[in-house]
Amino acid sequence: MTKQSSSARADARGLRVILLRSRFNEVVVDGLVAGAQDALRAMGARAADVTTVDVPGAFELPVAAAVAARSGRWDAVVALGAVIRGETDHYEHIAREASAGLAAVARETGIAVGFGVLTVSEEEQAHARAAPGPQNKGGEAARAAVATARLLQSLRARPARRGRKIV
């Protein structure tokens, strides 16, 4: 059995990545975007291969991700946003639809989708998760998207063995 090293999975060179950036909770999302950009740069992505697009809010991230994934222009999508609990149940609806919608995009399109949408109870929690450093959830989402994109490329490139179907 052959195991791929984690450094091989974290190679963003040559991958085209789109960062979808929710405009709500802008200061927090700016931190997530910076974390994603830093992570992509550290994995060897060229600035010319990374596109950042503003999306009205977290609810709109899935449809934007679906269109981007189906366009054939990108190898990976990274969705970035922050949903902070308020006094009404609006939070539950937005958080649920954003996460379910982004998961559906990945399943239905076969394109890597990094989930960098914070769902937190308090603004301080969001700021902590968007602060610079290895705990930045934007960076984590970018690393997951790159690893998944490489995994999918590998699965598609391998010939199926007799009696087995590979993605």
> Which CATH number do you get for residue 150?
3.40.50.960
**Cα angle value 163/166/167 (rounded, 5°):** 145
For residue 114, what pLDDT is reported? 99
Residue 150 has pLDDT above 70, yes or no: yes
If pLDDT is split at 50, 70 and 90, which confidence band does 37 have? very high
**DSSP letters spanning 37-83:** HHHHHHTT--GGGEEEEEES-GGGHHHHHHHHHHHTS-SEEEEEEEE
Structural domain including 29 reads 14-155
Residue where the block lists tokens 């366009």: 71
How many folded domains does the chain comprise?
1
Please state the pTM of the whole predicted model.
0.89
Share of the chain above pLDDT 90, in %: 85
Q: Which residues contact 119 (CB under 8 A, 6 or more apart)?
A: 83, 91, 95, 98, 99
Q: What would you report as the CA-atom Rg of the chain, rounded to the nearest whole angstrom?
A: 16
- Cβ atoms within 10 A of the Cβ of 57, count? 14
In a domain, 162, yes or no: no
- Residues annotated as catalytic (active site), given as ranges: 90
In a domain, 167, yes or no: no
Residue 5 has pLDDT above 90, yes or no: no
β-strand partners of 77: 18, 113
pLDDT in tens, 84-103: 999 888 999 999 999 999 99
β-strand partners of 52: 19
In a domain, 64, yes or no: yes
In a domain, 70, yes or no: yes
In a domain, 2, yes or no: no
For residue 10, what pLDDT is reported? 76
Question: What mean pLDDT is reported for the chain?
Answer: 92
In a domain, 4, yes or no: no
